[in-house]
Structure 1
Amino acid sequence: MVGMLAAMPPPAPRFAQPDDARFRARGDACPGALRLHRADDGALARVRVPGGVLTWDQADGLRELAGGLGDGELYLTSRGNVQLRGLGAECGAELASRMSGMGLLPSGRHERVRNVVASPLSGLDGLGARDVRPWLTALDALVCASEEAAGLSGRFLFALDDGRGDVDALGADVTLRARDDGDAELRIGGLEPVARIAGDEAPRAALLAAVVFLEAAGGSGADSGAGADSGAGARVASGAWRVADLPGGAAPLFDEVVRRLRAVGLSVVLGTVPVPAAAPPVLGVVTGPGDTDALSVGLPLGRADAVRWRTLTDLARDHGAGELRLTPWRGVVVPGVRRDRAPRALDALGAAGLVTGDRSPWSGVGACIGRPGCAKSLADVRVDAEAAAPPVAPPGTALPVHWSGCERRCGHPRGEWVDVVAGTDGGYRVSVVRDGGRTGEPERVAGDPAALATAVAAARTTRT
C-alpha cells in the first residue's frame, strides 16, 4: 500500500499560500527572535514557544518587552507562538539578551526551528491517551542538540497529539499521536499511513524523520539564505521548506523514514489512521481530575493588549499552576485553577475582553495583520472585521472565519472555513473553503459592514 502511495503525485494546491513556491524567490526569510522582519509598522519578532507552554513570568516578561520595545500588544500565531510588532530597528541586541535571560532562547542556532504544537489540554481534562509534556521536553532538547536540525526551515512543524486528534488535524510535517496501549503513531505530512512505534522512542523517531526530510530535500544543514549568525532556515536544494514541497510528495519520505527507523533497531508496525477534523479546545471551564480545573479562553483576533495579557499572567501566578498554554487556535489555557474559584476567574477574564464562550462575536474569527502593518494588504481587515461583527456568534456548529488582506491568506485555519478576502475594489470576496479549495464561486460584497456581516454569517452556517 505504501509503495503504491509513493508513486502517486501529490495533489496541487487550489489556491496559493504564503509558503508556496510561487511566493518563494529567495531563501527562507521566516522571522524569529534573532532575525527580525521589517514590516510597515516597524520590526517584527516571532518568538517560538514549543507546545505553547510559558511560565507566568516568561509570559509577563514578553508583555514588558512588547510595551518597552514594541507597540504594547502581543499577537498569537496559528502555531501557538508569540509575535511582537512595532519594534525599533535597533532593539535586536536588547531583545535577544532579555529573552535569553527569560529562558526563551536555549539555542541561537535553533531558535527558528523550535516549531512544535501540542494538545493544549493534554494532562488537564482526563482525555487523551497520555500527557505529551515529556515528549515535548524531550523533542525540544533533541532538536536543540542536533546539528542537522539547525538546517530545517522556520516553517517546518512538529505536532504532538495526546490521542484526541486535535493537533493531528493541523497538517504538521511530522506528527506523533499517542495510543491507548502506550505506543505512538508517527505520521508524515497529511498521509493516512502511519508507523506505530514504542511511545518512549517517539521523540527520537520524530527527529530522525526531520533529518530524513532534510536529506530528501537536498539540505546540508547550512543556512545558505540567512547568514551564519541567524541560526536555522536552510535554503535546501529542492526549495522544499516543508514535506508538502518535496517533488515526490510525502509518501516516498514516509517509506524512507520507516526504513531508517528499522535500521536503527526500532520496531515498526504499519497501519492506516485517517487524519481527523480540526477540533480546538472548548472555551470556558475545563473540568480536570482532582480539585482543579483549567480555563480556556480566546484572544479577539489573536491579539492582547497589556491589560488582557496581565489578567492572564496574574491569574496563572496567583490562582493557577504558574503557566499559560498558548493554543494553535490563538487561545490561552490557564491550568490548575482551584475548582471553587474557576467560575469567578472565568468571569474576570470575560470582563477583561477575552473570549470565554462560543457565543462571543469573536469565537472562531481570525484575521491577518492587514493594514497598516502589512504593505501587501488591501484593507484594514481587523477594523472591517470588528465593524461587521454580529452581537453574538452563530450557533456552536458555525464554521471558523478568517479575514485576509490579500491572496496570501496568512494564518488561515485548516479544514473547512469561511474565506473573507479583500479585493482591489474596496470590497471583499466571501466563500467557503474545504480541503484547500473553494466549494463555489465567491460572493462579492461591498465594504458595507451590514452587508459583510450578513454574507459572513450566512457562509458560516453553510456546510458542504
Structure 2
Amino acid sequence: MSVAATSPEALPRGACPTLPAPMATGDGLLARLAPAEALTPAQAAGLAALARDCGNGILEVTARGKLQVRGLDPAGAGRLAEGVGALRIAVREGLGIETSALAGRDPAEVFDPRLLAAALAEAAAAAGLAARLAPKVSIGIDGGGGLGLAGRDLDIAVSPAGAEFRIEAAGMTLGRTPAPVPAVLALLERLAAFGPRARMRDLVAAEGEGALGAGLQPADPREAVPGEPVGRHMLASGWALGVGLPFGQIEAETLEALADTAAQRGATFIEPAGGRALLIGALDDGGADGLADWATAAGLIVDAGDPLRRVEACPGAPACGAARFATRGLARELARDLAGLAKGRSVHVSGCVKGCAHPGRAGLTIVGLDEGAGIVIEGTARDMPARIVRFDELASAVRGFLESSRG
C-alpha cells in the first residue's frame, strides 16, 4: 500500500495529517485517524501493537477525539494503514462531523445524533462539499445528552429545540427548523462560495446572523453542557468510565494493558473522546471502580478535577521540529503548582506560535519564540506576550506569576 508522507510546509494551511498522508514531525511521521465506530478492546490493543511495531509506540487522542500514531517512517506508515484495515477499524473520511463520544448510548439524549450525522455526511459527499471547504471546517451534532459538545470550535452546530432542531453558526444561534440537513447544506454551500479557506466565523462577520438565518424560525440559545469526558457517565445499562490521557498521550504498552483490563471487567467498547480521553464501557459499579483504580496506578486521569486537566501542552522539542523548547516537563511542574495556586486558571504550554494543543484563549499561555519564552495573559500562542524570558528562567517566572494570581 502506497502512503504519501507530507511535510508541514507542503500541507495547505489548516490541513491535517491522515492515515494515507501522514505528516512529518520531529520524531518521524504522524498519522491521524478518526474511527467511524467505537473500538472493541481487542481493536484498541491491536492498534497499540501497531503503534509499537510501526512507530515509536506513542499514541495520542486529540482535542476532537481523533487518534494519532507517532514516530512512523514511510514503511511503517504503510504497515500501519494495512494493519488498521486488518483490524477492521472503519475510518471516517470526508467532511468533519462530530458527535458525542456517548452518542446512541446516553439515556439523556433527545435524539440519536449518529443518524442525523450519517444523513448529513451522505448529502455532503453527494454535493462534493469536503473538497470545496477549508480542511478544518467542522459540524457538531449534539443530541442533548449529558456529555455535550460545549467548548468545541464548531463551524455549525445542530442541537434539540423542542420538537425541532436548533442551528448555530460559529456559536451564534441562527434559528430552528424541522429539516436540519437542508439547512446545514445551504450554510455549507454559502461557506464554500465565500472561499476555500473560510471558516463560518468569517461568513458570520461578513453577512450577519440575520441573513444566514433567513428561512429559520426564531430559537433561544442553547444551554451549553460541559464536554468533560473524564469520570463516570451513566448509560442505559451500567457506566462508561472516562479516562483522561496526560497531554493526550499514552504509550502502547499502557493502552494494551488498559484494553485487556477493561475487557476482563466486562467492557465491550473503548471510544476516543473529545478532550483527549478514552470512554470505556459498559461497566457495572465494581468494574468501574476497579478500572478507575487500575488507571490511576498507571498514571492516567480519572478525576475531572485533576490539575493536569487544566494544562494543555503540545509534544514540544524534540518530538516536534517547530518547537523551541521541551514543553511537557514544564507542564507537569505547572500542574503541581496549579493544585495550590491560581485555582481555576487554565494553562497552555506551546512550543511555538502555532498553538496546536489549544488554539483558543487560555488564562496563561507560555509560547516558544526565537528570542525566548513568551508569557501571554488571557490570550493565545499567537498574541503579544506580556513578557519574554530566557528558557532557563521560565519555570521560576511562571511560578512567580501563579503566586501573584493566588486565589
TM-score bin, normalised by smaller chain: 0.7 to 0.9
8 A contact 1:420–1:429 mirrored in 2: yes
Q: CA deviation at 1:446?
A: 5.5
Give runs of aligned pairs for residues 219-368 of structure 1, distance below 5 A: 236=196, 240-246=197-203, 249=205, 251-252=207-208, 255-256=211-212, 258=213, 268-273=216-221, 276=224, 279-281=226-228, 283-290=230-237, 292-368=238-314
- Residue 336 of structure 2 corresponds to 390
Q: State how 1:88-103 maps to structure 2 within 5 Å.
A: 88-103=73-88
Deviations 1:336-368 (A, max 9, x none): 111232111211111111111145342222111
Does the CA-based 8 Å contact 2:330-2:395 persist in structure 1?
A: no
Number of the residue aligned with 1:43: 29
**Secondary structure of 2:63's match?**
coil
The answer on whether the counterparts of 1:427 and 1:444 sit within 8 Å (CA) in structure 2 is yes
- AA partner of residue 283 (structure 1): V
Cα distance in 2, alignment partners of residues 138 and 319 from structure 1: 35
Q: Quick check: 1:161–1:168 contact (8 Å CA) kept in 2?
A: no
Partner of 2:386: 441
Q: Letter of the aligned partner of 1:98 in structure 2?
A: G
Taking the aligned partners of 1:368 and 1:388, their CA distance within structure 2 comes to 14
Q: Pick which of 147-156 and 326-335 moved more.
A: 147-156
CA RMSD of aligned residues (A): 3.6
User: Residue 457 and residue 114 in structure 1: after superposition, are their counterparts in 2 closer, same or farther (change >3 A)?
Assistant: farther
Once residues 313 and 278 of structure 2 are traced to their aligned partners in structure 1, the CA distance between those partners, rounded to angstroms, is 17
Residue identity matched to 1:94: R
Q: Contact 2:341–2:405 (CA<8 Å) still a contact in 1?
A: no
Work out the percentage of aligned pairs sharing the same amino acid. Answer: 24
The answer as to whether partners of 1:378 and 1:424 remain within 8 angstroms in 2 is yes
1:152 matched residue in structure 2: 133
Q: Following the alignment from structure 1 to structure 2, what is the Cα–Cα distance between the partners of residues 461 and 288? A: 39
Structure 2: gaps (5+ residues): 1-8
Q: Which residue in the other structure is 1:6 paired with?
A: none
Deviations 1:50-88 (A, max 9, x none): 5x8434344333212211211101112121111111111
Alignment-mate amino acid for residue 170 of structure 2: G
CA distance, structure 1, for counterparts of residue 232 and residue 180 of structure 2:
31
2:350 maps to which of 404, 408, 418: 404
- Asked whether 1:195 is paired with 2:148, we answer no
Supply the AA of the counterpart residue of 1:70.
G
Q: In 2 relative to 1, CA 127–211 (structure 1 residues): closer, same or farther, beyond 3 Å?
A: same
CA distance in 2, matches of 1:321, 1:250: 49
Structure 1 counterpart SS, 2:392: coil
How far the C-alpha of 1:188 sits from its partner, in A, is 1.4
TM-score, with structure 1 as normaliser: 0.73
Q: 2:396 aligns with which of 451, 458, 461?
A: 451
Higher relative contact order, chain-length normalized (CA < 8 Å, sep 6+): 1
Q: Distance in 2 between matches of 1:94 and 1:81?
A: 19
Deviates more, 1:137-146 or 1:382-391: 137-146
Tell me the CA shift for residue 272 of structure 1: 4.6
1:165 Cα deviation after fit: 8.4
Distance 1:307 1:25 in 2: 32
Amino acid at match of 1:59: A
**1:320 CA displacement:** 4.8
1:169 aligns with 2:151: yes
- Contact 1:194-1:272 at 8 Å conserved across structures: no
Q: Distance in 2 between matches of 1:359 and 1:392?
A: 11
TM-score by length of 2: 0.82
**Number of residue pairs matched?**
397
State the match for 1:377 in structure 2: 323
- How far residue 293 of structure 1 moved from its aligned partner, in angstroms, is 1.1
Tell me, in whole angstroms, the C-alpha distance in 2 between the residues paired with 1:48 and 1:401.
27
Could you tell me how far apart the structure 2 residues matched to 1:56 and 1:35 are? 26
State the AA in 1 paired with 2:344: A
- Distance in structure 2 (CA, Å) of the matches to 1:306 and 1:35: 22
| SS at 1:409 equivalent | coil
Contact 2:316 2:327 (8 Å CA) reproduced:
yes
Task: Please tell me whether residue 80 in structure 1 is matched to residue 68 in structure 2.
Answer: no
Structure 1 residue 298, shift from structure 2 partner:
0.8
- Structure 1 residue 93 displacement after superposition: 3.6
Alpha-carbon offset, residue 426 of structure 1: 4.5
Alpha-carbon distance in structure 2 between the residues aligned to 1:24 and 1:193: 36
Equivalent residue number for residue 34 of structure 1: 20
Counterpart of 1:159, as a letter, is: G
Deviation at 1:384, TM superposition (A): 2.4
2:211 partner amino acid: D
Q: Structure 1: 5+ residue runs without aligned partners?
A: 1-22, 218-235, 263-267
